[in-house]
A = this chain, B = another copy of it.
């Protein structure tokens, strides 16, 4: 037998995570349908989660939504990565310099997750949300991270099906691996409309004290605002900022990555 996970905990997680996609409020019926479980089973799970503050019921329509306990726990997690604290001032400076939105992401379970963001002054902005995830094969930050993973992990991460978002999304494994090589040489990655038309990003990796890639920062802007001329400035700024963060994290060598 493989691993023996505890069914009801897995199901409780299923319930909670339903709320991550789209709907803010869900009824017992909706949940039981989506999960293919009986109403009474779902009811038991929900009432337990509510009892502990992981869900809360809206007394008006009897529907449920995520509870405060998750907010509490989530904040505790934030405290765990000092990377946020370290990066914040650097990001702020970079935004002021480039006048564009800057993101900080961490690598987690084959995806990137947005930890911090600071919008630039332009009205035309990238929509993004702290706490959200994004794929690794078609984002600047994802590729910046991927490029500095060990060969074995790279293989693994590129093994599954890759989703296509735009006509520019690369899904060919070999093609991507080739690009990763130049990213590794140059120290930055570019996403040119690979996840969303009109969106261009410049990203650079962040290393921890052991020299492991743990995240990345990126400057994201409408393609038209990152022209030939500005590109150099942006690349330089992003790389410098990323290096500064790595250094603060205790990273010693700026050259040897793997």
Chain A residues touching B, majority SS:
helix
CB atoms of B131 and A74 under 8 A apart? yes
Q: Which residues of B have CB within 8 Å of A5?
A: 44, 47-48, 51
**Interface residues of A toward B: which range?**
35 or more
Q: Which residues of B have CB within 8 Å of A71?
A: 74, 77-78, 113, 131
Cross-interface CB contact of A8 among B6, B49, B75, B129, cutoff 8 Å: B6
List the B residue with the shortest CB-CB distance to A106.
B68
CB atoms of A68 and B77 under 8 A apart? yes
Q: Which residues of B have CB within 8 Å of A106?
A: 68
Instruction: Judge whether A211 is part of the interface by a CB distance below 8 angstroms.
Output: no
Using an 8 Å CB-CB cutoff, how does the interface string of A48-81 with B read, 1 for contact, 0 for none? Answer: 1101111000000000011111111111111110
Cross-interface CB contact of A66 among B47, B68, B73, cutoff 8 Å: B73
Instruction: Judge whether A130 is part of the interface by a CB distance below 8 angstroms.
Output: yes
CB distance from A11 to the nearest CB of B (A): 8
Interface positions, chain A 128-175, Cβ under 8 Å from B, are 129-133
Q: Which residues of B have CB within 8 Å of A9?
A: 8-9, 12, 45, 48-49, 52
CB distance from A214 to the nearest CB of B (A): 12
CB atoms of A76 and B68 under 8 A apart? no
A76, B67: Cα distance in complex, Å: 10
Cross-interface CB contact of A68 among B52, B75, B79, B109, cutoff 8 Å: B109
Cross-interface CB contact of A4 among B44, B52, B76, B79, cutoff 8 Å: B44
Instruction: Judge whether A108 is part of the interface by a CB distance below 8 angstroms.
Output: yes
Beyond known contacts A8-B9, A70-B74, A74-B78: 10 more, CB 8 A cutoff = A9-B12, A19-B73, A53-B109, A66-B73, A66-B80, A68-B106, A68-B113, A71-B131, A72-B132, A74-B75
The 4 closest A-B pairs by CB, nearest first: A74-B74, A75-B131, A13-B52, A71-B77
